[in-house]
Structure 1
């Protein structure tokens, strides 16, 4: 990558083709999805920010489309209450009347929210590609006759489960003309003549009451295709127009929308394409899990079925990820509804919605506000939101006063904390879902901290003084509860979900280190909590009981809580292990259910089948592994896998950071034992310290660096600059 590419790479529209990687070392980790949970594996298809979503579930021998004709515009904002899945059609490719059972599935082009499913038999291969278009969800069904001597009949059996909906008009009345056989209408449970599925391009159509069955005749070696169309709003009288429409163009347009959108984001350069695809798949899924909600807002959703409703938590993580990827307008637009959801008394925990009494809400909202400001330096945005932050901190202080009560005996562990609220994330106070939870108080105190930082940035001295008093008092009370309520076990202490109790999960307790930084990353309680969480591990290398399932995993918490904290502690090897373990517990579609059992092919799952937290935690951890801000220090490649530099270049362009856009590239030449690097920083706000981490296999260390302004630190794999310039080129010798 030359200088021009480093500076201008962010302006390219098409995603770059991955450079050929070097040979895979025997010890290098691989993305193989070896611990994927059981079928079905889900990918939701739609255009960005669309309420017309189609769930696509993959199992051996079939693909199922499922959807609702409702969207969030008809539901209250922010409530755990959304559209129910009303319709399903199962697609089963056949050859000469026999189902094709051998099947694989992946994302088209590796990362698009477009399904490619292949079904292979001894004579014919079928490929179903499913995308969400502007007027319909589209299935391009292509059949290739692998037989050089015989013709074969290919078909897709499109069946609606049950007998009450999805009617083939010709199945009811065989005397109807032939063109009445190529569509299913609702019949029941919707306007009766609503077209739920139509076929375009078939040679013939076998007829049954609840089945659409297009066929194609294949000559030896021939490839042919047809279209299945799930229209969003089409009725029986409109079928002539549906048959004439250029669905191939709409299908191509849908892909182009995604390429253009994601093509304006950060370019990461890695030799492991499996990891790199996860980044762009995660970015795309943020837009899959957004749609219009009442009030002229775009809502960001934790899932596409059970969790198809807005809340402020996953939405904050997703919006920060968009900011970091270079989409600040989209980031702010997708979080406006969360910021505006505040009571008149200042409570920012949405008492009329899903986040009712979940005191984490103000912390997640404040995290987004300050990250958006640090990444964009949009002072007007900060000034506009600050009154909400101030009102929230004042409300929280009023609530804490209710618990600052001393009775006879020792100070209670709830002294100065927020009152009882809803835990979620597997948190429990004994057997109750309601209690005084430490993670919620960590996030609430973090909200006060960020409100103070905002006041200081805006030069509001009176408000800063008030917020400093609120924050310091709340922090002191919380740290007292954390330290006195820590659990002693086997010579170490760890932070529980409820002070002094071992019930429930430990979701969120490590947030005391990151992002809240209420405790130092090296604090003995953070060390002990990591040890506790890692004391019971799954066969695939993830901690058990990170959420609701005592014998299972909320996979997202490995990259989100553990990974980010370990990165802050400088443990890049552990970060890389958790990154690969998380990827390999996903499906080949880069999708994850919320929680699942620990074994490969786990049948037990809970929550949404395609949950947002894990993919967005993966893309944030990958970004932070490559570019990580810690105060005035910028870290590059701190959490990269050691095998990557042996295999190819590491870096990227258009990383959005607290210090402006950053581009860099590291390469290692094994023959000459040299690492070459180039770094471009933005003018105007460079970091006070720049650290480039050169992580190599086999214990290899750096001997020297060519740049006289740099030094190799004692660990032998970190190069440091104080007050770096905007353009750095160096060569480092490896011992």
Structure 2
């Protein structure tokens, strides 16, 4: 494939320009032969969490918190993830009950998308139990200054005590209300389950878990039962007249002595928690949409990303989740970093990129996961994309030695793969780990896709930093690998059950898994990789295989669960359609994606379709999902294609109701910060679109798409045809006359 034209363009532009010549994209680009759009679901543009997982957990920890406290669907406080023999991975699980029976779960909600106070409601025999669980943000509101006498009492070495982290407390503030006609007596219970040793210090009224004095109890609490892994503590009896309420507090302490909290102290702490979250300096408001539930998901996604983040080696590590994916994962981290950078937090993400770069091996590769060769290509894309968004070419030049070494490692991999010219992967890379539903090592294509993307980024980086000879050499490397890929792909094409001629991930034949399994990196090859021409038959056939496996608006069976739904695969899938000019389909996928979150605004990695079992897989909250929801929400409104910027291509029709306002405020693009506001008139007849184009390097084209919802588009008194260019440098206010189904023009 001839890349010379692109190389010359890349040498003169700040942004990377991809392989094939860009189409002159127009709104409502018709489906090409082989491009399937799938069926629409009922209430397409309604986000009501209809596909929520059967069970969920929610983070209540603080920003950059070292203690990742989670609350279960039943209100359980979940701690010590990863303990041997633990239930659902948590070594310690604590629940509050009305007495020794079982309460009926009524519901659970989060106080606000930006305020992770989890409220769980239970009911039994006319008594309502309302539990508010939250993290205390400041020791200044504690009833007494924190102490660490427990270290001496437990015989913990002083050096270990120093590593325990700052004092932290989580509180459960419970309200019991008698909804019945007569006075009742209630004796609430705290049930502590743990794989660690549990003991109750009756004199101090403290439950110890392992070597930690963890839970402070009310005076007068007694042990009802105790076993190796469970301790049931009965709190003092409460008399509840009809219609009246009583409160109690159960505190959880970490790295500090446990103390007793009064209701007054707990209430002050609750107010402090609300103030902490309302004042939190997080990148809210960069994207604001009329749909309150979509807006809630965006805000919650931002918050969850920062709750999962930690400071490691003095740098912010953007982590995927609080449990099994707590740590640096290169591919997940790449999209987390991009999402936060687009929200104009480049200083934070620069540090996050540096934390990622610090994991480069001596041979130039990145391989946090064994034989996950693709990580090197992903990091090259991260470097490329970060510089695109920030425009910091000086930083890119500083990073150049890492880029050179990374490309050398890819070249070394290709030489190794070609030692046997008869190997199915000759010219590509050795067998590796595909992930996303397939184990390894096997000969496969996920590593191929991402290393091709990485080489493209390396060519663009070399061009932008003036290394023209290196850019030309790496272009030849890319071209050679691309030819090897096309040859192998033609050999490995298969027909799926729907008759689609597509490229499965494994090279081995016969296939032992569904052909569409693990096509995540294929979607990335479409976008952000931009490897395929829009009419590429291999790409269209493979994408059609995904579309024919849609379920609940997403794709079934492409992850680890053969019959499950990989929720944030919806982000990859939606972006593929966005890149192909199918904004309406991308918007449909966004809503289906959102509908698989919990009502507390977070995603599990994978889950069964509704009514088809209760299988789950992966972390929760899963913040690659958070990043994908942010990315796709933004890209429905503002989308980069090479040196073009496209607007409103995926705007859902439900965002055009009377008085609706959609804003994008100083989000970063490869052209610089971009802002716009679309405001619908109160009568729903017209809309004004205000645009502030990026000024750092204006796009070659600024294209407005109104699909079939606009009757007329006027700029300075002249009519614009849908898809026609706007001025890429001048601020504009555009008047749009709206035409929706059932709408009558005045």
Give the TM bin, normalised by the shorter chain.
0.7 to 0.9
Question: Is the CA contact 2:603–2:621 (under 8 Å) kept in the aligned structure 1?
Answer: yes
* Greater CA drift, 526-535 or 210-219: 210-219
Please list the CA deviations of residues 130-183 of structure 1 after superposition, one character each: whole Å capped at 9, or x if unmatched.
22334434234242636497555555421112697332223xxxxx4xxx34x3
| 1:466 Cα offset (Å) | 3.0
**Equivalent residues of 2:44, 2:591 under 8 A apart:** no
1:51 counterpart = 2:74: no
C-alpha displacement of 1:491:
5.7
1:173-214 deviations in Å (ceiling 9; x for gaps): xxx4xxx34x3123xxx22xx222124xx5863543523344
Pairing 1:185–2:205 present: no
The residue that corresponds to 1:106 in the other structure is: 109
Match of 1:138 in 2: 170
Q: Quote how far apart the aligned CAs of 1:391 are.
A: 0.6
CA distance in 2, matches of 1:91, 1:251: 18
Q: Does 1:286 align with 2:308?
A: no
The 1:365–1:586 alpha-carbon spacing in structure 2 relative to 1, beyond 3 Å, is same
State the distance in 2 between where 1:119 and 1:203 align: 24
**1:497 aligns to what?**
505
Correspondence for 1:168 among 200, 208, 216: 200
Alignment check: 8 A CA contact 1:627 1:655 kept: no
Cα contact 2:425–2:431 (8 A) shared by 1: no
SS of the residue corresponding to residue 489 of structure 2 reads helix
CA change 1:247–1:671 in 2 (3 A) is closer
2:316 to 298, 313, 316: 298
- Tell me the equivalent position of 2:232: 211
Partner of 1:309: 327
Matches within 5 A, 1:245-644: 246-261=265-280, 263-293=282-312, 295-350=313-368, 355-404=369-418, 413-427=424-438, 433-489=440-496, 492-499=500-507, 501=509, 502-504=511-513, 505=517, 506-538=519-551, 540-560=552-572, 562-600=573-611, 602-644=613-655
Asked if the contact 2:574–2:586 (Cα under 8 Å) also holds between the matched residues in 1, the reply is yes
For 1:21, the equivalent position in structure 2 comes to: none
Further displaced range: 661-670 or 312-321: 661-670
Give SS of 1:286's match: helix
Match of 2:251 in 1: 229
Match of 2:23 in 1: none
Query: In the alignment, is the contact (CA less than 8 A) between 1:689 and 1:724 conserved in 2?
Result: no
Offset of residue 377 of structure 1: 1.5
Structure 2: tracts of 5 or more residues without a match: 1-41, 138-166, 740-744
Match of 2:76 among 56, 61, 64: 64
Deviations 1:585-616 (A, max 9, x none): 22112222222222347411122343332222
Give the TM-score, by structure 2 length: 0.80
How far the C-alpha of 1:341 sits from its partner, in A, is 0.8
* Structure 1 residue 224 displacement after superposition: 4.4
**Contact 1:124/1:144 (<8 A) preserved:** yes
Q: 1:163 to 1:708 in 2, by over 3 A?
A: closer
Distance 1:639 1:507 in 2: 22
Deviation of 1:450 after TM superposition, in Å, equals: 0.9
Instruction: Work out the CA distance in 1 between the residues paired with 2:66 and 2:553.
Output: 37
What is the alpha-carbon distance in structure 2 between the residues aligned to residue 670 and residue 145 of structure 1? 44
* SS of structure 1 residue aligned to 2:197: coil
Offset, 1:719 = 5.4
Return the offset for 1:519. Answer: 0.8
- Kept in 2, the 8 Å contact 1:522–1:569? The answer is no
Matched residue, 1:32 = 48
Please say if residues 38 and 602 of structure 1, whose CA atoms lie closer than 8 Å, have aligned partners that are also in contact: no
Counterpart secondary structure, 2:585 = helix
Q: CA–CA distance in 2 between the matches of 1:330 and 1:151?
A: 56
1:319 Cα offset (Å): 1.2
Number of residue-to-residue matches in the alignment? 653
- Separation in 1, partners of 2:187, 2:399: 57
- For 1:728 and 1:117, locate their aligned partners in 2 and report how far apart those are by CA, in whole Å: 47
Of 694, 711, 731 in structure 1, the residue corresponding to residue 706 of structure 2 is: 694
CA–CA distance in structure 2, aligned partners of residues 657 and 122 of structure 1: 57
> Which of 123, 128, 131 pairs up with 1:128?
131
Say whether the 8 Å CA contact 2:380–2:406 is kept in structure 1. Answer: no
CA distance, structure 1, for counterparts of residue 726 and residue 717 of structure 2: 10
Q: After TM superposition, give the deviation of residue 518 of structure 1 in Å.
A: 1.2
Using a 3 Å threshold, how does the CA distance of structure 1 residues 47 and 671 change in structure 2: closer, same or farther? Answer: closer
Shift of 1:42: 0.5
Classify 1:342/1:204 alpha carbon distance in 2 versus 1 (closer, same or farther; 3 Å). Answer: same
Query: Structure 1 CA distance, aligned partners of 2:317 and 2:709?
Result: 48
Q: Offset of 1:231 from its aligned partner?
A: 0.7
Q: Shift of residue 565 of structure 1?
A: 0.6
**Could you list the per-position Cα deviations for residues 53-104 of structure 1 after superposition, in whole angstroms to 9, with x for gaps in the alignment?**
1121113xxx211212999xxxxxxxxxxx974322122245xx76541421
Asked whether the 8 Å contact 1:262–1:283 carries over to 2, the reply is no
Post-superposition Cα deviations, 1:488-518, rounded to whole Å, max 9, x if no partner, equal 4566421210247445412311222111111
Change (3 A) 1:591 1:155: farther
Corresponding residue number in structure 2 for 1:239: 259
| 3-state SS of paired residue (1:90) | strand
Q: Is the 8 A contact 1:547 1:554 kept in 2?
A: yes
Contact 2:608 2:615 in 1 (8 A): yes
Closer, same or farther: CA 387–261 of 1 in aligned 2, 3 Å = farther
CA deviation vs aligned residue, 1:211-253 (integer Å, no higher than 9, x gap)? 3344554455444433221111123xx637x669944444444
Q: Are 1:675 and 2:687 an aligned pair?
A: yes
Instruction: Measure, in 2, the Cα distance between the counterparts of 1:719 and 1:633.
Output: 12
State the shift of 1:459 in Å.
1.7
Indicate the SS of the match to 2:221: strand
Task: From the superposition, tell whether residues 600 and 288 of structure 1 become closer, same or farther in structure 2 (CA, over 3 Å).
Answer: farther
RMSD (CA atoms): 3.1
- Shift in Å at residue 723 of structure 1? 3.0
**1:676 & 1:629 partners in 2: Cα distance?**
22
Are residues 709 and 376 of structure 1, via their aligned partners in 2, closer, same or farther at CA, if it must alter by over 3 Å? farther
- TM-score (norm: length of structure 1): 0.81
Q: Is the 8 A contact 2:713 2:721 kept in 1?
A: yes
Counterpart of 1:119 in structure 2 is 122
What is the CA distance between 1:394 and its match in structure 2?
Answer: 1.1
Partners in 2 of 1:406 and 1:712 — Cα distance? 56
For the Cα contact (< 8 Å) 1:103–1:119, is it kept in 2? yes
Task: Give CA-to-partner distance per residue, 1:508-564, whole Å, 9 cap, x none.
Answer: 1122211111112332222211210122232x222111112222221211222x111
User: Does the CA contact (< 8 Å) of 1:448 and 1:471 recur in 2?
Assistant: yes
**Distance in 2, Cα, partners of 1:254 & 1:330:** 24
1:288 is paired with a residue whose SS is: helix
Aligned equivalent of 2:215, options 189, 194, 197: 197
